[in-house]
Chain A
Amino acid sequence: AQTVTQSQPEMSVQEAETVTLSCTYDTSESDYYLFWYKQPPSRQMILVIRQEAYKQQNATENRFSVNFQKAAKSFSLKISDSQLGDAAMYFCAYRSAVIFGTLTFGKGTMLLVSP
């Protein structure tokens, strides 16, 4: 079974600065997806960024980018120019590329953003 580990229960950053959230995973598969989801307090979980394991290029979505190290099974999220609205719980998640693959989440990292 796949496992996802987020070793940082909480991170803090000041507005306009950069923060990196860490994630490692364990799998024996070669084809899979990795995701970062954001969950603001009492609000809906939404996708931040997605990475396909067969793609070597790191995914980027505006201020959000990832550092995907397949051999090391590492998938970190970098948030540049942090904004107050970025404050939320961030979950790293793994999904097998097999047709009925389930999504496995880490325990999450709470990101605090201060003015």
Chain B
Amino acid sequence: EAGVAQSPRYKIIEKRQSVAFWCNPISGHATLYWYQQILGQGPKLLIQFQNNGVVDDSQLPKDRFSAERLKGVDSTLKIQPAKLEDSAVYLCASSRPSGRAYTGELFFGEGSRLTVL
């Protein structure tokens, strides 16, 4: 079974520029998550999709971050314009819905490391 795929692995940009990250979840996983992990901290949820609908985006800085999941499969996370404090690893994860029939486990991609200069 193929894992969660993310690209690019690394990206360096100047502040005020834009950047986009792509994620392809595990086949059959309807739930997709984007997390932000700042160095030395635990991941923080940015947005959660169920198929192509948003379940939770309460911590997404909507003035600069946007995300979409077209056709309920791949997803793109965009930052525009980037700030210095956006330097982090952006993790994509997927899962089956939580509940008694499933394990509740999230499967993570390798992450996309963003450096904003």
Contacts and interface: CB of A to CB of B under 8 A. Distances in A.
B110 interface: yes
B45 A102 contact: yes
A108 B42 CA distance: 6
Interface stretch (A11-19, A73-81, A90-98): A90-98
Interface residues of A, number: 26
B105 A102 contact: no
B104 A101 contact: yes
Contacts of B110: 43-44
A97 B98 contact: yes
A106 B99 contact: no
Contact of A96 (B98, B108, B109, B111): B98
A45 B108 contact: yes
A35 B56 contact: no
B91 interface: yes
Interface of B: 3, 31, 33, 40-45, 48, 50, 55-56, 91, 93, 97-100, 103-106, 108-111
Contacts, number: 66
B24 to A, nearest CB: 15
Contacts of A106: 42
B42 A91 contact: yes
A44 B98 contact: no
B108 A102 contact: no
Q: Which among A43, A46, A99, A108 has the highest number of chain B CB atoms within 10 Å? A: A99
Contacts of A96: 98
A100 B50 contact: yes
Contacts of B103: 33, 50
A95 B109 CA distance: 19
Contacts of B93: 103
B108 A44 contact: yes
